[in-house]
Amino acid sequence: MPAQTDSPPSSPPAPPRKNDDARAPVPRIVPVRRTGQWTAAVVVLALLAGALVSVVRNDAFQWDVVGEHLTTDSVLRGLGLTLWLTGLVMMLGFALGTLLAVFRLSGNPVLRGVSWGYIWLFRSTPILVQLLFWFNIGALYPQILGVDTVNLLGPVAVAVIGLTLHEAAYAAEVVRGGILSVEPGQIEAAQSLGLGPWRRLRRIVLPQAMRSIVPPAGNMLIGTLKGTSIVSIIAVQDLLYSVQLVYHRTYEVIPLLLVATLWYVAVTSLLSVGQHYVERHYARGTAGAR
């Protein structure tokens, strides 16, 4: 007889493996339908296109006259005066406004009171009223230090003084808000290094405060550019007054107003682009940098 060997017990049959193709299908992701948004967008674009076509094809706008006067010498001189006035007023206004902001944050109660009173007075008075007061300063003070004020202050000087004093009140609050945005620890660190008050302000506080100062300062610059048109009321030959002189002679009111509008839009757009890059420069290293 052949020797018998122990054989391992037979294992149960393995369950049948499911075919990969038989697996449950993956649910398909269906994007949300935004029918309402697309409908609203189409309607808005159609309205804008209709408005643009009506403006371009409306003969009452006299676009040929607009093109004729857009770059005339008188208009360009008025534009140059507007830009010069805007730059000078912003520079002087922020210089005086920074000083007022420092006074407002000073520990001296007299300086705080004077700064607060100045800001309160000039923010409470309309700019047109201020300009008219300065234009008629000769009626209040015929002479200052022996000089006739009538001959001393011409229309351009009145415009510079009035706009600067008005802008300084708003610039003071912008600068004060920027200074308050700086962390107190930065100032304490500067004090520990032995830096004096003015050096701390110039080297530590203001560079960090610029991130908060630049956006409202850019808005003020654009507002000042457009606000200079008010000086036409005292016969300063800015951009608006220059086109007024033309349409008073030719009676082409609408096209000449469009000339001024186009120049204001062009300069404002350039300033907005510049503001964007300045903001990005001072926002480096922060979440707002982009």
Question: 73-84 pLDDT, tens per residue?
Answer: 999 999 999 999
The torsion angles phi and psi of 58, rounded to 5 degrees, stand at -80, 115
Least Cα distance to 102 among 180, 39, 41, 159 occurs for 180
* Of 118, 236, 130, the residue nearest 170 (C-alpha): 118
Percent of the chain with pLDDT strictly greater than 90 = 43
Cα(169)–Cα(173) distance, integer angstroms = 7
What pTM does this model have? 0.77
Q: How far is residue 172's CA from residue 96's CA, in Å, rounded to a whole number?
A: 8
Closest CA to 65 of 229, 239, 247, 244: 247
Which of these, 252, 258, 243, 232, lies nearest to 75 by C-alpha position?
Answer: 243
State the pLDDT at residue 1. 46
282 phi-psi bin (left φ>0, alpha ψ -120 to 50, beta other): alpha
What is residue 19's DSSP assignment?
P
Task: State pLDDT tens for residues 193-229.
Answer: 777 777 777 777 777 788 888 888 889 999 999 989 9
